[in-house]
Amino acid sequence: MQALKEAQKPLGTGTPTSIFAANLDVEYVISFRYANAGQPAQTGDSSTPEEQLEKLLHTLDLAGLRTVVRDGGNGTLLIFTRIRSEKKLLGEIYRSRVRDWLHGIRPAAPEKETQLSLEKEPLTDGERLRLVYSLITLPSSEGGAGITPKQGEWNLVESVFGLHDHEFNKRWLKDWSTKWLIGPEDLRVIRDRFGEKIAFYFAFIQWYFIALSVPAAIGLFSYLFLPAYSSFFAICNCLWSVLFVEYWKRQEVDLAVQWGVRHCSTVQRKRAEFQFEAEATDPVTGEKIRYFPAYRRLMRQLIQVPFALFAASCLAAIIASVFSIEIFLVEVYNGPLKMILKFLPTVLLSIFIPIVSTIFTTFATRLTDFENYENQDSYEAALTQKIFVLNFITGYFPLFLTAFVYVPFGEILVPYLDVLNVTVQHFGHDEKYTTSDTGFQINPSRLKAQMIYFVVTAQVVGFVLETILPQVKRIVFKKAKEFDSKRKGIDMQTVMDPPEEKKFLDRVRHEAELEVYDVTVDLREMCMQFGYLTLFSPIWPVTALSFLINNLVEIRGDAAKICMEMQRPVPNRADSIGPWLHNLSFLTWLGSISSAALVYMFSSAELEGGPPKDLTLYGLLLSVLLSEHVYFGARFVASYAMSKIQSMGLETERKEKYMVRKRYLEESFGAENELIRQEDEKTGGEYTGVGVVPSAKDGRPLADGDVSETFWRSQSGWKDSVDAGVQIMDIVRGKEKKTQ
């Protein structure tokens, strides 16, 4: 931990752990491809690589960046950039902080004197890298260099990436591998290094990990002591999921405030790809605004409905048919080659599903591009939603199929699979190869087996694929390249490396080949996992427990992935886990329905997972209806309670706002008192009514000014009024006395 404490010392204190030390003060490296496999690369326009390089370097220079060029090996150049001067950096910091203030991200304006404000809130590596990155990538209209890798005029720019701080990474992994829980301190370190967006992912998975212990405990208990599909467990599980999501919402706010990024999503990162329809000049601001009518986007978005339906049904169809083939082969068919044929379905699935989903994913991306979003966040959100639909089908449909079609209706439906007999006929012209219809029994263990597959096997496989496979892939590719270039006879020896930089440059070349880390992928993984928990855990109550164990590893695995297999991620800001939040609540809602259905259907079956006994449709509907509305109620109550109980984050925010408010109010108060003082001086502090002479300013009409004046002057000062009042009382009382 000591080491980490070190690591997050602000830049201002110049600790040797600052990444920029190890990396020769390089902030970003731009990889520029001038040749593929020996052929000079094609630039977008007719210009040569040399020309584009020159343009690139010049643009960077204009944006206030220093550059050094080195050979990147096999047809690329590495352009090392850093901000030109400390003053320039300070200017950037100040401007960005002012912008934040104006967007209401920070309560108070930064000190006008930058040095001062820097001492107050030191610059983190994350903030620095973010600023420089935006300096490189923002369009020139926003004061950046407008470098958009692989696009348009910059099609030769392969990537823009920061350099890892290996010392820090080592310490980080070591530290996390030796502790159970990740504390706010650790999250802060992540945030300082890799930005809030990634920090939010770790915060989420950490909270999820902790929260899992509850359903894990309950699950284990009901697994050991309660009957299968106990409604007690289902209810607990559902309520837990509600609380989990609602409480996370609050944590998000707290963290966002703590990290000073609340509302930061309002500062939009413009998309370079945005196609504006018309460039109108805004009547109010007089600015050129790039305009794309919202209703047209809405129209385009409508396309995704048929798309989603089509994609979903396609995937569903594939899964269903493979599923029925499997059923047939495993449980009906018992002809020759059964041993081999049994594996056919698995093979089919693992061939088709990836292909089809890749196709749909690319299509979804196209569609999202077509929807033409103006800024990054809404683009990502839109894409996420589409991907989520696909994942939903591939991830959950098989279980739905088994639970709600195969088990209840299996005995009716399965016999119809005998249409496949025709194929079987070829082996032999008697019926012995298929069990007779009457003989068929649905396989009760199937549902649970499938669940276990998704919850344990798939998770482990997934983990292996995402952590080990890339390593292997990269090594193989490397070898291949080397071999290839050997064949071509080019030695990998890169040119013009100053000897003392050799080690450094090699490291950079290595990092240049790494993949770009996309945090949403990991978030999706967690979200899908959460889905199994809410939708199906009654099938296998220890689901949560297995996830608990899985995630303990997952967290460290992701950390390692970022450190070793990915380029250093650009520290983006975020004030939430974004669109996934909606998906989480969606899953809790669906969970309330599906688990109710599961419990109602299967708790009646006499052998676990077996065909349900004496079901009634209205029974099913009632239980679903009931549990859904209980869910709505619970969610309402939970969110209300959350909103009422003081949130630390909002509290601090409120107070900071208050401090600003107070300061300003005192100022204006002072001004106001001043006015009064002058006023009183003028009138000698007496109520001569001078201050109230009718005037255009005061808007008191001159017409009946005199009446009004006499009225008000009739009692000059409060003492007169008191006398008048007392007098009236006495007179009236007097009268009354008389009458009594």
Least separation, in Å, of the C-beta of 360 and a copy of itself?
23
Q: Which of 6, 20, 258, 561 binds a copy of itself (CB under 8 A)?
A: 20
Measured CA to CA, the distance from residue 231 to residue 627 in angstroms comes to: 11
Residues in 110-129 at the binding interface with a copy of itself, rule: CB under 8 A: 112, 114-115, 123
In one-letter notation, the amino acid at residue 190 is: I
Applying CB under 8 A, the span of 9-17, 237-245, 507-515, 519-527 interacting with a copy of itself comes to 9-17
Phi and psi at 65, nearest 5°, equal: -120, 140
Which residue number, 173 or 593, has a Cβ lying nearer to a copy of itself? 593
Joined together, the tokens standing for residue 552 give: 């303990």
Measured CA to CA, the distance from residue 633 to residue 239 in angstroms comes to: 10
Read off the DSSP letter of residue 482. Answer: H
Residues in 561-600 at the binding interface with a copy of itself, rule: CB under 8 A: none
Which residue number, 10 or 612, has a Cβ lying nearer to a copy of itself? 10
For residues 623 and 597, the answer to whether their CB atoms sit within 8 Å is yes
Helices (H) and strands (E) in the chain, counts: 27, 8
Measured CA to CA, the distance from residue 281 to residue 52 in angstroms comes to: 32
Measured CA to CA, the distance from residue 600 to residue 724 in angstroms comes to: 82
Which residue number, 13 or 438, has a Cβ lying nearer to a copy of itself? 13
Answer yes or no whether residue 703 interacts with a copy of itself by CB under 8 A.
yes
Q: Which helix (H) or strand (E) holds 279?
A: strand 278-281
Least separation, in Å, of the C-beta of 114 and a copy of itself?
8
Applying CB under 8 A, the span of 229-237, 333-341, 605-613, 615-623 interacting with a copy of itself comes to 615-623
Which residue number, 167 or 608, has a Cβ lying nearer to a copy of itself? 167
Strand order in the sheet with 157-161: 65-73, 76-83, 28-33, 157-161
Q: Which helix (H) or strand (E) holds 447?
A: helix 445-452
Phi and psi at 434, nearest 5°, equal: -120, 140
Least separation, in Å, of the C-beta of 20 and a copy of itself?
6
Q: Which helix (H) or strand (E) holds 35?
A: strand 35-36
Least separation, in Å, of the C-beta of 252 and a copy of itself?
20
First CA to last CA distance, the chain? 91
Which residue number, 482 or 672, has a Cβ lying nearer to a copy of itself? 672
Which residue number, 2 or 285, has a Cβ lying nearer to a copy of itself? 285
Measured CA to CA, the distance from residue 530 to residue 590 in angstroms comes to: 12
Residues in 264-293 at the binding interface with a copy of itself, rule: CB under 8 A: 282, 284-285, 287
Applying CB under 8 A, the span of 160-168, 245-253, 445-453, 697-705 interacting with a copy of itself comes to 697-705
In one-letter notation, the amino acid at residue 624 is: V
For residues 407 and 398, the answer to whether their CB atoms sit within 8 Å is no
Joined together, the tokens standing for residue 691 give: 């201050």
Least separation, in Å, of the C-beta of 25 and a copy of itself?
5
Residues in 24-63 at the binding interface with a copy of itself, rule: CB under 8 A: 24-25, 32, 34-35, 38, 40, 49-50, 53-54, 57-58, 60-61
For residues 516 and 150, the answer to whether their CB atoms sit within 8 Å is no
Which residue number, 483 or 669, has a Cβ lying nearer to a copy of itself? 669
Least separation, in Å, of the C-beta of 409 and a copy of itself?
17
Owner of token pair 């081999």: 340
Least separation, in Å, of the C-beta of 339 and a copy of itself?
45
For residues 101 and 108, the answer to whether their CB atoms sit within 8 Å is yes
Residues in 713-732 at the binding interface with a copy of itself, rule: CB under 8 A: 714-715, 717-718, 721-722, 724-729, 731-732
Applying CB under 8 A, the span of 225-233, 430-438, 462-470, 675-683 interacting with a copy of itself comes to 675-683
Which residue number, 409 or 712, has a Cβ lying nearer to a copy of itself? 712
Residues in 66-105 at the binding interface with a copy of itself, rule: CB under 8 A: 66-71, 75, 77, 79-80, 82, 84-92, 94-95, 98-99, 102-104
Answer yes or no whether residue 108 interacts with a copy of itself by CB under 8 A.
no
Least separation, in Å, of the C-beta of 223 and a copy of itself?
32
Measured CA to CA, the distance from residue 376 to residue 381 in angstroms comes to: 9
Q: Which of 224, 419, 422, 617 binds a copy of itself (CB under 8 A)?
A: 617
Least separation, in Å, of the C-beta of 12 and a copy of itself?
6
Measured CA to CA, the distance from residue 219 to residue 225 in angstroms comes to: 10
Least separation, in Å, of the C-beta of 355 and a copy of itself?
32
Owner of token pair 């899953």: 587
Which residue number, 86 or 614, has a Cβ lying nearer to a copy of itself? 86
Which residue number, 84 or 188, has a Cβ lying nearer to a copy of itself? 84
Joined together, the tokens standing for residue 221 give: 């208990």
Q: Which helix (H) or strand (E) holds 36?
A: strand 35-36
CA count, 13 A, side-chain hemisphere, 189: 23
For residue 703, give Cα distances in angstroms to 567, 709, 710, 714.
80, 11, 13, 19
Joined together, the tokens standing for residue 369 give: 């591009």
Measured CA to CA, the distance from residue 307 to residue 11 in angstroms comes to: 49
Q: Which of 27, 29, 64, 605 binds a copy of itself (CB under 8 A)?
A: 64
E strands, 65-213, are 65-73, 76-83, 157-161
Measured CA to CA, the distance from residue 330 to residue 339 in angstroms comes to: 9
Residues in 164-203 at the binding interface with a copy of itself, rule: CB under 8 A: none
Helix/strand/coil (H/E/C) assignment for every residue in 374-408: CEHHHHHHHHHHHHHHHHHHHHHHHHHHHHHHHHH
Residues in 475-514 at the binding interface with a copy of itself, rule: CB under 8 A: 488-490, 495-496, 498, 500-501
Which residue number, 298 or 553, has a Cβ lying nearer to a copy of itself? 298
Which residue number, 141 or 441, has a Cβ lying nearer to a copy of itself? 141
In one-letter notation, the amino acid at residue 118 is: L
Least separation, in Å, of the C-beta of 284 and a copy of itself?
4
Residues in 333-352 at the binding interface with a copy of itself, rule: CB under 8 A: none
Least separation, in Å, of the C-beta of 582 and a copy of itself?
10
Joined together, the tokens standing for residue 275 give: 């196609």
In one-letter notation, the amino acid at residue 28 is: Y
Which residue number, 124 or 230, has a Cβ lying nearer to a copy of itself? 124
Answer yes or no whether residue 306 interacts with a copy of itself by CB under 8 A.
no
Q: Which of 277, 431, 484, 698 binds a copy of itself (CB under 8 A)?
A: 698
For residues 560 and 173, the answer to whether their CB atoms sit within 8 Å is yes
Answer yes or no whether residue 615 interacts with a copy of itself by CB under 8 A.
no
Which residue number, 426 or 644, has a Cβ lying nearer to a copy of itself? 644
How many CB atoms within 10 Å of residue 738?
A: 7
Give the x/- contact pattern for a copy of itself in 378-417, rule: CB under 8 A.
Answer: ----------------------------------------
Least separation, in Å, of the C-beta of 403 and a copy of itself?
19
Joined together, the tokens standing for residue 525 give: 């993984």
Residues in 638-667 at the binding interface with a copy of itself, rule: CB under 8 A: 641, 644-646, 652, 655-662, 664-665
Least separation, in Å, of the C-beta of 509 and a copy of itself?
13
121: left (phi over 0), alpha (psi -120 to 50) or beta: beta
Which residue number, 70 or 262, has a Cβ lying nearer to a copy of itself? 70
